[in-house]
Amino acid sequence: MKIIELRSDTFTLPTPGMRDAMFSAPLGDDVFGEDPSVLALESKLANMFHKEAALFCPSGTMSNQMAISATVSKGQEVICDELSHIYLYEGGGIMANAGASVKLLKGDLGRLTKSQIEAAISPDDIHACESAMVSLENTVNKGGGSVYSSESLDEISNFCKKKEIPLHLDGARIFNAMAVTGQIPSQFGAWFDSISICLSKGLGAPVGSVLVGNEAFIKKAKRIRKRLGGGWRQAGMLAAAGIYALDHQVVRLQEDHQRAKAISEICSTLLWVESTLPVVTNIVIVKIREGLNSTIKVAELAQKGIKCSPFGAEYIRFVTHLGFDDEDLSRFEKAIKS
Ligand SMILES: *Cc1c(COP(=O)(O)O)cnc(C)c1O
């Protein structure tokens, strides 16, 4: 039985073309700033997002954490949604790495509004914890892959600029967001001070994330990366995979979104499914009927060859990616209905 892998879009394997690109990548020592492939990836993304500089690093967690540590000082706070990856899934890094506090807001499927942020910013008062960064996530993983509209990002960005509060984007799935909204990278570069971009999710590279921002910020982040042990040597093989992903595997993200919609429709016909969150990108979050347990349900589905993730006790998450094609979709339908 071939396993249908829907636990995460991190399960993608390098495609044959990507492997070729990795194999033939020119290499050097990146700690010395001499890996041509890493430099090419960094300048490609900096140019694409209209930012001065970029920094390649091993994971999205590291690039988010570098951004926070480079921006927020001990005793200050980050404002973000309560569903944020930076808060829920980064090992308490805001506190442990930056020594910072966090103010959690309850958004709509993980999306904040300008008025919510405005109301949350600490007053200029010595009793308060100083608000030093606003961090958004787009698409929102725990929000079922929800995306921000340009209008909303315009408002939030203008407000943060006026208040001189740095605005960070956890853009692990930023290319999925752009694939549905038609927004372009330079718009994000203008909206945000720093952006973390994952190459190893839907884009299909085996490893790596890139942080973009201005020169001074990236210089700081680079020092933090080194301190965390993330300075790497001939990382060009991984960077070449990232370049290949950007050149060849962005255009196909729409397919993942269509298959996610199909999964959601199939699930909505099942007796054990209560409802599904709206599907706009490659994430499907299904609410199971009361009295059922997500861990048990996930184990049952694994018996049928479908791998997915429990998302709290009442929800199950399916994520589509380049390792899940139309044939897998038909097999999924047969298996889940059996
Ligand atoms: C996957 C993910 C990250 C980064 O995760 P790593 O496993 O550290 O690469 C960051 N933010 C979001 C929203 C994610 O889904």
Asked whether the beta carbons of 157 and 195 are under 8 A apart, the reply is no
Distance between CA atoms of 219 and 214, rounded to whole angstroms?
9
Count the helices and strands in the chain (H runs, E runs). 14, 13
For residue 35, the model assigns a pLDDT of 98
Predicted confidence at residue 1, as pLDDT, reads 76
How far is ligand 1, taken at its centre, from the CA of residue 67, in Å? Answer: 14
State if residue 144 touches ligand 1 by the CB under 6 angstroms criterion: no
Answer yes or no: is the C-beta of 141 below 6 A from any ligand 1 atom.
Answer: yes
Cβ of 282 closer than 6 Å to ligand 1, yes or no, is no
Of 282, 241, 337, 267, the residue nearest 16 (C-alpha): 241
User: What pLDDT is stored for residue 278 in this prediction?
Assistant: 93
Q: Characterize the bridge pairing of strands 167-171 and 194-198.
A: parallel
Atom of ligand 1 nearest to the CA of 140: 13
The reported pTM is: 0.97
Percent helix, strand and coil across the chain, each to the nearest 5: 45, 20, 40
CB distance 170 to ligand 1 below 6 Å = yes
Determine the distance separating the centroid of ligand 1 and the alpha carbon of 85, expressed in angstroms: 7
Q: Would you say the CB of residue 146 lies under 6 angstroms from ligand 1?
A: no
Span from the CA of 61 to the centroid of ligand 1 (angstroms)? 6
CB distance 327 to 317 below 8 Å: no
| Cα 172 to averaged position of ligand 1 atoms, centre (Å) | 6
- Counting ligand 1 atoms within 8 A of each CB, the residue from 85, 138, 139 with the most, and so the one to mutate, is 85
Using CA atoms, how far residue 116 sits from 87, 130, 138, in Å, is 18, 17, 17
**Which H helix or E strand runs over 206?**
none
The pLDDT of residue 2 is 86
Intervals of the chain under pLDDT 70: none
CA of 193 to the centre of ligand 1 (A): 19
Where do runs of H (alpha helix) occur along 213-325?
A: 215-227, 236-248, 253-268, 294-303
Confidence at residue 260, expressed as pLDDT on a 0 to 100 scale: 98
Q: Which two tokens stand for residue 270?
A: 């099942």
Alpha-carbon separation of residue 234 from 28, 34, 222, 272 (angstroms): 5, 9, 16, 49
Q: Which residue's CA is minimally distant from atom 6 of ligand 1?
A: 60
Instruction: Give distance in angstroms: CA of 173 to centre of ligand 1.
Output: 9
Distance from Cα 121 to the centre of ligand 1, integer Å: 26
Q: Which residues of 152-169 are buried (b: 16+ CB within 10 A; e: fewer)?
A: bbebbbebbeeeebbbbb
C-alpha to C-alpha distance for 1 and 115, rounded to whole angstroms: 51
Q: Which two tokens stand for residue 165?
A: 């509060």
Which one-letter DSSP state was computed for residue 178?
H
Distance 270 CA to ligand 1 centre (A): 30
Give 139's strand partners. none
Closest protein CA for atom 2 of ligand 1 = 172
Residue nearest to atom 5 of ligand 1 (CA): 60
Closest ligand 1 atom, CA of 62? 8
Sign of the C-alpha dihedral computed for residues 247, 248, 251 and 255 taken in this order: negative
Tokens 């020169």 correspond to 215
CB 263 within 8 A of CB 329: yes
Domains of the chain, each with CATH number or no CATH: 4-10+251-337 (3.90.1150.10), 14-248 (3.40.640.10)
Is the CB of residue 172 below 6 angstroms from any atom belonging to ligand 1?
Answer: yes
